[in-house]
A = this chain, B = another copy of it.
């Protein structure tokens, strides 16, 4: 007789997954998936990198590696983080099976059912799912164009009977909001984190994908500025640059947290693929990244511009959206009383798809927004897809 655990009994296939299935129809112009563009992956180079490896490295790639990570990749990654201005002293690094696992492990070692977790609204679906799976009570603090609203954050935390277990933010080319935090907002948030002695997960999958060199300074993580007085769990990933199929993420955090996460990882999947770690290590240490990033930034900027212009040309005046300065996403806001699911259903009939806003709401309520990813869809289809969605919006707005 199968009797599921209490946490498994609470698991559901989400409404969103059903909508994502509709969006996966090849006849649909889909802006739903937050995926890199297939044509940009270094498919040939990776074969060359493999063939040039010495036998010992090739054999190591097939073998187990320590739970913390393949040591040469850990070293290479440390140097990469330091080049980005993120000092690693006072912290330990753990390689994870994608950033999703890093977020999941932190949640697992910190959360008991009923614990409070504060996130942004909107927030990353995968993080919300992980926190819910450990029974957390979630509350999302609204973002404005500069980041999380500090006064709302502060008064919400003050209203709680006990401090939240942690705060989860994604400040750099936010998924799905598309914004980047201003310097001042980061300072204010860091101040809160320090004052309250609060644990913060700082999730940074898109920071390298700024469209304008002038914004590079803004992508310096709070982890780099918080010093050892703060407990920041910094999460990164190679997914949006080197490809999510490698399943490589990392967690940079104080040793006590890494120790527990490593113990949890040990019985979860023993270690992350050595094979993909060896490839990523040799890609990074081979010096291919800077040039590749330049190409990615240009490509995604062009795609963002095409989408922005298509929106400007077709959307009615009641609709607003973020003009992205990096990353993969545009977040579209409809008037408050409009249900994005209705727009979705209408768009699907027309042949275009996106992800509705409630998916990104930790409380699953607010649904007058939706997310457009400009990263994956064929470039010449973007304007056509947006005009289908604009037509659907106009129909629903009446």
Contacts and interface: CB of A to CB of B under 8 A. Distances in A.
A344 to B, nearest CB: 21
Q: Interface size class for chain A?
A: 35 or more
A41 B13 contact: no
Interface stretch (A263-271, A286-294, A298-306, A308-316): A263-271
A156 interface: no
A349 interface: no
A112 interface: yes
A97 B269 CA distance: 6
A129 B266 contact: yes
A276 to B, nearest CB: 6
A196 to B, nearest CB: 9
Contact of A61 (B33, B132, B245): B245
A3 interface: yes
Interface string A107-119: 0111110010000
Contacts of A279: 275
A46 interface: yes
A143 interface: no
B126 A270 contact: yes
A43 B59 contact: yes
A100 to B, nearest CB: 4
A74 interface: no
A8 interface: yes
Interface stretch (A62-70, A174-182, A221-229, A360-368): A62-70
Contact of A5 (B50, B108, B231): B108
A245 B98 contact: no
Contact of A8 (B5, B59, B264): B264
A90 to B, nearest CB: 14
A112 B6 contact: yes
A97 B97 contact: yes
Contacts of A112: 5-6
A2 B258 CA distance: 12
B254 A2 contact: yes
B269 A109 contact: no
Contact of A7 (B8, B43, B46, B108): B108
Nearest to A100: B270
Contacts of A65: 245
Contacts of A276: 273, 275-276
B267 A2 contact: no
A72 interface: no
B35 A110 contact: no
Interface string A245-264: 11100000010110110011
A128 B166 CA distance: 30
Given A63-B243, A129-B267, A247-B274, 19 more contacts: A7-B109, A8-B264, A11-B264, A33-B64, A35-B63, A47-B51, A62-B242, A62-B244, A63-B245, A97-B97, A97-B269, A97-B273, A133-B267, A245-B273, A246-B275, A247-B269, A247-B270, A273-B276, A275-B279
Interface of A: 1-8, 11-13, 33, 35-36, 38-39, 41, 43, 46-47, 50-51, 55, 58-65, 96-98, 100-101, 104, 108-112, 115, 126, 129-130, 132-134, 163, 165, 197, 199, 231, 242-247, 254, 256-257, 259-260, 263-264, 266-276, 278-279
Closest 5 pairs between A and B when the two form their complex, measured CB to CB: A62-B243, A245-B274, A8-B109, A41-B62, A129-B267
